[in-house]
Amino acid sequence: MKKLDRKQIAARLARDIPDGAYVNLGIGLPTLVADYLPKDREIILHSENGVLGIGPRPAPGDEDEDLINAGKEPVTLLKGGSFFHHADSFGMIRGRHLDYCVLGAFQVSAQGDLANWHTGAPDAIPAVGGAMDLAVGAKHVLVMMEHLTKDGKSKIVERCTYPLTGARCVGRIYTDLAVLDVQADGLHVVEILGDLPFDELQRLTGVPLKKLATAA
């Protein structure tokens, strides 16, 4: 079975972000998307700690501890970038000003419910950050994740068993096997990314899939 690696998922997702979009990339895996945004598009990256217009990583030695992203990694600022306080930053998110956010996930349901902040383990120390705000606020919530857990279970499920981050919020799912759209009547396969036949993808996925008419 041929699968995409994480960089390839990021590159595939990046292709779908249009020119002029305001985008928040969640911490962890989604941050990779920044490296693959098409150079001929002007795409403005937001980070919830209070910055619009994030540029590439600084060269070693050029880091500034006052200029970081939500993952607390050093970043740079593009010409035209701006800073603002936390309430304004989340006003941008909740107020539906962001066009896209990209989040990782433990599970996504066929209705677009997202679980990405808590495994539900009783001894886990919970942490939520901005995920719940992004899930309800961004105009398009994109999820980027591996299709299967390490032990081969589908992360796309009928109903999330982990605690929810947001209900019915996910628009599109990018995995190492496929791109899937969440629609009112269920999940539609937009594109198969590996070499699996549709029937095999269906077998591995926990919920019924529909073939988009335009899908390859």
Partner 1 sequence: MIDKFIATAEEALADVPDGATVLIGGFGNAGMPAQLIEALIAQGARGLTVVNNNAGNADAGLAALIGAKRVRKIICSFPRQADSWHFDKAYRAGEIELELVPQGTLAERIRAAGAGVGAFYTPTAYGTRLAEGKETRRIGGIDYVLEYPIHADYALIKADRADRWGNLTYRMTARNFGPIMAAAARVTVAQVRETVGLGELDPEIVVTPGIFVQRVVRIPSLRQAA
Work out whether 157 is an interface residue with partner 1 (CB under 8 A).
no
Amino acid at 124: A
> Which is catalytic among the residues 42, 48, 73, 191?
48
Minimum CB distance to partner 1, residue 126 (Å): 5
Contacts to partner 1 from residues 178-197, by CB under 8 A:
none
Nearer to partner 1, 96 or 211 (CB): 96
Minimum CB distance to partner 1, residue 33 (Å): 20
Nearer to partner 1, 169 or 178 (CB): 169
- Retrieve residue 32's tokens: 């990779």
Work out whether 207 is an interface residue with partner 1 (CB under 8 A).
no
Amino acid at 73: E
How far apart, in whole angstroms, are the C-alpha atoms of residue 178 and residue 191? 6
- Active-site residue flag, 48: yes
Minimum CB distance to partner 1, residue 12 (Å): 28
Work out whether 44 is an interface residue with partner 1 (CB under 8 A).
no
Q: What mask, x for binding partner 1 by CB under 8 A, covers residues 101 to 140?
A: -----------------x-----xxxxxxxxxx--xx---
Round the CA-based radius of gyration of the chain to a whole number and report it: 17
Residues with active-site annotation: 48
- Which positions touch partner 1 (CB under 8 A)? 47-51, 64-68, 72, 77, 83-87, 89-91, 93-94, 118, 124-133, 136-137, 163-167
